[in-house]
């Protein structure tokens, strides 16, 4: 019988609607009481690590989840399921994917409807995640996200709808598998990536989104001794309005690393355009283009690289693509 650790961190999956229809945290996490959900098939060990709405999740707490998993693997656990709020689920999942050296299955799941809503998806997603974590086929696949009977990679999955239960999608590539008849069935294999085994995380890594008519105001607001790094969601394949460039250069003169991705969730950032503010000029200035990640994932990757103390050349190579 497989031993599966369920780490609960809070989120909608652990909340309930009150009499006014407002979704609020519970004093006791109802999903954590589902200890017999697959009784006789897995030994489920429960750890209520946090009870936080996902907007309250920070990289420091992500690191605590990572450390708990490492401890559990050393103790002989066979797989891990993490329940999490959906707003920042993809960021925690990707942080773990970048920092966990483990080969055991690690699966993150959540819910779009609270525990007492009609059509609540929490118990079903939790059950499916346990089934995926307990399957031999799930080993060595990196951190997975299981929602709505689909299996996604932490690297590429993103939340695409504010309320729909089918919100989690993998643009361009699609899910790598499905949960069919209580078993995971895989159709794709993820390309390998390296791991940074962190013991701390840095602060003050920021994310800005470009827009028509943007100037240097927001960039200059980050021009200080505290700023450790910046990710910019550029226009199109990775371009910026020319009015931003002097302020961007001032950040680069401070040796603040700046990563450029596209603000669109399909496709990749590329240095194609050779005009003022185009990707070719931005690359020559010193911005690092990251292909295949959205802004929030690229920020997590920059944060991990900085926390690992990677020198400039290694950091640039680490950030170049989603694969490293």
Tracing tokens 């708990």 back to the chain, one arrives at 68
Active site positions, annotated: 12
Most confident of 54-63, 191-200, 315-324: 54-63
Mean pLDDT of all residues in 283-291: 94
- pLDDT digit string (tens) for 76-120? 999 999 999 999 999 999 999 999 988 899 999 999 999 888 889
What band does 322 get if pLDDT is binned at 50, 70 and 90?
A: low
| pLDDT at residue 133, rounded to an integer | 97
Q: Report the percent of the chain where pLDDT is more than 70.
A: 98
| pLDDT at residue 108, rounded to an integer | 98
Instruction: Indicate if the pLDDT at residue 214 is higher than 70.
Output: yes
| pLDDT at residue 324, rounded to an integer | 52
Contacts of 250 (CB under 8 A, 6+ apart): 216, 219, 220, 223
| pLDDT at residue 131, rounded to an integer | 95
pTM higher than 0.75, yes or no? yes
Return d(Cα 291, Cα 165) in angstroms, integer: 28
- The closest alpha carbon to 127, from 147, 141, 113, 143, belongs to 147
Least confident of 204-213, 226-235, 262-271: 262-271
Least confident of 172-176, 226-230, 264-268, 284-288: 264-268
Q: Report the percent of the chain where pLDDT is more than 90.
A: 80
Residue 228: which H helix or E strand, with range?
A: none
Burial of 173 (0-12, 13-18, 19+ CB in 10 A): middle
| pLDDT at residue 17, rounded to an integer | 86
The structure tokens listed for 93 are 């999942």
Q: 179 by DSSP, 3-state: which? A: strand
What band does 287 get if pLDDT is binned at 50, 70 and 90?
A: very high
Question: Residues 113, 116, 122, 127: what is their CA dihedral angle, to the nearest 10 degrees?
Answer: -160
Return d(Cα 171, Cα 100) in angstroms, integer: 24
Instruction: Indicate if the pLDDT at residue 39 is higher than 80.
Output: no
């Amino acid at each position: 019988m497989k031993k599966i650790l369920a780490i609960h961190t809070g989120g909608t999956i652990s909340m309930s609607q009150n009499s006014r229809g407002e979704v609020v945290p519970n004093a006791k996490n109802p999903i954590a009481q589902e200890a017999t959900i697959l009784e006789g098939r897995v030994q489920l060990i429960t750890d209520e690590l946090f009870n936080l709405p996902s907007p309250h999740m920070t990289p420091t707490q992500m690191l605590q989840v990572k450390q708990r998993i490492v401890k559990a693997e050393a103790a002989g656990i066979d797989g891990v399921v993490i329940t999490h709020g959906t707003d920042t689920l993809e960021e925690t999942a990707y942080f773990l994917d970048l920092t966990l050296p483990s080969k055991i299955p690690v699966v993150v799941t959540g819910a779009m409807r609270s525990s007492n809503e009609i059509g609540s998806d929490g118990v079903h997603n939790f059950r499916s995640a346990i089934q995926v974590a307990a399957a031999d086929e799930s080993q060595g696949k990196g951190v997975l996200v299981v929602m709505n009977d689909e299996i996604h990679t932490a690297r590429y999955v993103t939340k695409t709808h504010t309320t729909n239960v089918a919100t989690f999608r993998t643009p361009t590539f699609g899910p790598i598998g499905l949960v069919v008849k209580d078993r995971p069935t895989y159709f794709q294999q993820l390309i390998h990536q390296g791991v940074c085994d962190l013991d701390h995380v840095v602060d003050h890594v920021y994310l800005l989104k470009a827009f028509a008519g943007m100037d240097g105001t927001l960039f200059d607001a980050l021009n200080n001794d505290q700023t450790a790094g910046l990710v910019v969601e550029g226009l199109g394949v990775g371009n910026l309005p020319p009015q931003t460039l002097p302020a961007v250069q001032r950040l680069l003169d401070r040796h603040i690393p700046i990563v450029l991705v596209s603000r669109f969730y399909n496709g990749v950032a590329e240095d194609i355009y050779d005009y003022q503010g185009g990707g070719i000029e931005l690359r020559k200035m010193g911005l690092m283009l990251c292909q295949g990640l959205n802004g929030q994932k690229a920020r997590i990757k920059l944060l991990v690289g900085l926390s690992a103390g990677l020198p400039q050349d290694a950091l640039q190579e680490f950030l170049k693509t989603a694969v490293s």
